[in-house]
Structures are given as structure tokens and as C-alpha cells.
Structure 1
């Protein structure tokens, strides 16, 4: 695998931003509403954003200084004056209006009006929330950490969530459902992605257990030219290999398929066929069955 090496010490701020924003993806979007000391409202999206703590519940977003002029964002100025914010999540049906709200408007311009979003009064904080947002977090700004004073420098706005509003339509079993939430995220340039449909998938988390790991696998499995890294990750999640009896029972159940493979003349083809079969079982989440095939294949010495 050929890699390109990029020395950030030699890059301009513009190029640093391009490489980072095109690589660290996808990034969730915080559509943030704030007010200044005169209670003028500002609304602006930020993709340098995420959740960083559950207890206390902390969200962080980062308004960058302008790379071109070194000016600060109105949002950053506002949270220094009034240490409150509402972080609104952005669904697919909000994305164009959200982009519109990111324009370089003068301080006295109401981005709610410009974007066509509806300002809805918050319960605990002064800034309004976005009525159209599937989820809104009313926050107290605990701290603002400046990461530099030059163009492109970030400012970590550390927000403690005080109240959360969720549209009931996106709830399933009491929690936001990813298919119903339908959020979008930023990529590099003008590109976005959508968390919906075939782009969503589940990966079992090994909570409370320790998998065997890739290092415990037979060499023929670790170095397989059929199995991918994801396949090995799934295989390594089991806590024990199937017993000899389990392997025997599986092979007996699929005796005709096993005989067909063993009748192949070339040993290399037999091993590849067995690993391909195991790969199909892994895709069906039949991990123990896949291991039965792989461990048996390893005993063939091919």
C-alpha cells in the first residue's frame, strides 16, 4: 500500500484546513444559536463538533478564526458575552437552509430569518432553539479555550447540556432512532453525507468480554488472502474457539458441501474455497460456524 507523507510544518493554514477537513470525516454538524449582550440572536453551523462527556454531559464545538482575515465568528463573540448556547442537530431536510445560515452576514442580521428556520423559545437559556431540528440541546457555556490567535485557530466552546428536546417522531423504544433521525455530516469541500439507508450498519461492541484477538488465530487465518481486516475483527471477537465436537457436528451437517470442496484437485483451490465459505458465514454473523470451517481447513496443512 503506497502512502503519501505530508509534512504539516511546511503547509499554509489554508492547506492544513483542506487536508484536515477532507480527511477527518464524517463530522456531525452543530447548528448553534447564541445571543450577544444586547440579546441579538445569531445562528451558525459548525462541523468541528462532538460529544465529549456523559457525566457531566458535555458538547464541544469550535469556531475557527477566519483563515483569510483572522476575524472571529459572531458565535464566538457571543458566547464570551452571554455564556449560553443551543446546539441543534441537522437532519437531511434541513441541510440547504443550514448551509444558507453559514453566510458571512453582518452582526445585526438575523440568520433565522435569512435561512427560514423558526426560532422557538428555550426553557432554560436565552438563545432560541431551531423548531425544525430533530434534537436541540440547551447548554451553559462552561469554558472557551482559545487554541491560538492566528487565522485558522480553533476555539473550543465547552457546553454543558442542561435540557434536551427531541421530536417524538424520531423516538424508538424511548431513544432517537438513527434511521428516523436522518442526520447529515460534513466531508471535505462542498461534500456532505447522510446517515440513513444502506449507509447504516451495526457492529457488536465487546462490552464485558475479552475477545481472543487476531494474535490468537492460526497463521493460515491471519494471513488469508480471502479474509479482510473486518472479517478478522469479527472472528477475533469470540471468547473461545468452537470445540472439536462442535466442529464435527458442523462438518457433518454440511457433509456434501465439504466433500465437493475436498474433491478439488489443487490444494490451494481447496483452501481458498474453504476460506470463501467461511467469509460468507461471517457475513451472515455465523461466527462459530465460520471458525469450524477455518480450524478444519488449518488441519489440512495446505
Structure 2
């Protein structure tokens, strides 16, 4: 493996290694206003949600590597202690990218990017009307992490009001990931669209312990067919399949056909893999455990 020593690697290169490895990252489209009433809008991908009670968002505004200066967003937040965090979906990602340009502080990125500012309810910065979710925040704390170029400032924000476009909600009022169509930041110039085939459901009950990899029979654990993800699904089962379930699947035509092949164990593992792709973990386990009885 390539070994990176932060102390002997340039900040510019280290920055890209970190961003390439720690991805995708959500994008905080931060709206602020300065003491003169100039509105600023800028994207930050050092960002996430860290608490729901109280509702806390944290993003970092880093010092520029080139000249060690700070950005308008940080200046404005230090003055007003307020910010609106707008999320970025596919429909506005190129407009968002335009706001990353270093315009003078008196220039409104809303105008440059063709985005619509709308008044907030509880804070002075404007919201981005086109963003599907907008969070009005009061800044609780700003923590500087260093004094040289590349050093961040953790901006800890408490959400005091949230606005969500109803068009991105399901019938039960929950956010639908396909409808909100969020964008994530990768390394360099790469982004990821979090919708469509990129979305996967992973059902893993947190209050029911799985049997674990160590409880999988050796032949299954060392299968040349079943992948790590396949094994992870089997290992998440609360118990191994009962003999009755194994005997029942043995009578099924597809299983009978697999048993007559030249490599029945491999054929059963392939069949189990197909069942796992359909989230039929119980059936898959019965088929896989049957292979251990050959």
C-alpha cells in the first residue's frame, strides 16, 4: 500500500488524499450576511449532522492553502453568529459550483448563480428557494483547528427552523432519497448523485444480534462464489437455519437441479447468492447450509 506521512506530504497533496478517501461527503450550501447587509453563499463539504437533540450541524471553513486567508462565510458568521445551511440536489449542483468562485465580498453569489434568495423566519441570512431542504441555524461555537493554510474552523450550528419542499416527501411525510436527489462531494472534481441505482436498502436490526462470521460453516465462509457482502447478510441472521427448513428447500426443483450438476456445492452457492440479491436471507441460508451436508 502507498504510505502517506502527513508531516512530509504537502498540504495540497494531503488535502486531495483525504478528500478522495473520505467520500462521499454531504454539501453544506451556507448562506450568510455581513454587517453591511451583503449576502454570501458558498459550498462546504467538510459537513455533517452530529446531534438531533439538540439538532446540531457542523461544517468547517478552512484557511486557503495558497495564501492562508479566510473566507467571507467565516467572517460573516463571526459577526452575526447566524447561517442557513441549504442542501444541494442535482438540479442546482452546477449553480452551486459557480458559488465556489472567490467573488468580492460585496458581490452576491445568489445573483451570480441565478438562485433565488428568500427570507428566513428566525435568522438574517437568506434561504435558497431552489434547495429542497433549508435549515436556519444559530452558531453556538467556532473552534479554530490551526493557524496555517488548510487549517479548518469548526462551525457548530444549532438548527432553529427547518424548511422542506413537500415534493420530496413520501405519503408518510418522510424524505424520499430518490425525490430529494442529493449530491455528494468526492475528491478533486468528482461528485456523486445519491438517487436511482445508487440507493441501496440495507436491513439490519440493531436490537437483534446476528450470528456473525465466526458462526458460519467453514465451507460457506471460504466460498469462492459468495462475496463478503453475501456472507455479511448471512452473518446478520439471528440464528442458523433449522434442519426442517434445509430439508424443505432440498425438495425444490431449482435446488434439485443444482444437486445434479458436476459441482453441486458451487451451484448451491450461486443459487443462494440469487436469493440474497432478492433479500431472501432465510431461503439463502437454508440453501447454503444444505451445501455443507453434501
TM-score (norm 2): 0.96
Question: Hey, what does 2:177 align to over in structure 1?
Answer: 178
Q: Encode CA deviations 1:218-271: one digit per residue, 9 max, x unaligned.
A: 11111111111110111111111121111111212x1x4344333334xxx222
Query: What's the secondary structure of 1:14's corresponding residue?
Result: helix
CA distance, structure 1, for counterparts of residue 260 and residue 199 of structure 2: 40
CA distance, structure 2, for counterparts of residue 232 and residue 134 of structure 1: 38
Within-5 A mapping of 1:116-155: 116-155=114-153
| Mapped contact 2:143–2:154 kept (Cα < 8 A) | yes
Q: Any unmatched runs of 5+ in structure 2?
A: none
Question: Hey, what does 1:262 align to over in structure 2?
Answer: 259
Count of residue correspondences: 293
The alpha carbon displacement at 1:180 in A equals 0.6
Indicate whether 1:208 and 2:207 are aligned: yes
The alpha carbon displacement at 1:39 in A equals 2.6
Indicate whether 1:281 and 2:280 are aligned: no
Give 4+ residue runs of structure 1 displaced > 6 Å after superposition: none
The alpha carbon displacement at 1:80 in A equals 0.9
Q: Encode CA deviations 1:160-195: one digit per residue, 9 max, x unaligned.
A: 000000111111111211111011111111111111
Query: What's the secondary structure of 1:65's corresponding residue?
Result: coil
The alpha carbon displacement at 1:280 in A equals 0.9
CA distance, structure 1, for counterparts of residue 284 and residue 267 of structure 2: 13
More moved, 130-139 vs 33-42: 33-42
| Mapped contact 2:259–2:268 kept (Cα < 8 A) | no
TM-score (norm 1): 0.94
More moved, 144-153 vs 33-42: 33-42
Within the candidate set 154, 157, 172, 2:155 is matched to 157
CA distance, structure 1, for counterparts of residue 182 and residue 254 of structure 2: 44
CA distance, structure 2, for counterparts of residue 205 and residue 88 of structure 1: 30
Q: Any unmatched runs of 5+ in structure 1?
A: none
CA distance, structure 2, for counterparts of residue 15 and residue 118 of structure 1: 36
Question: Hey, what does 2:286 align to over in structure 1?
Answer: 292
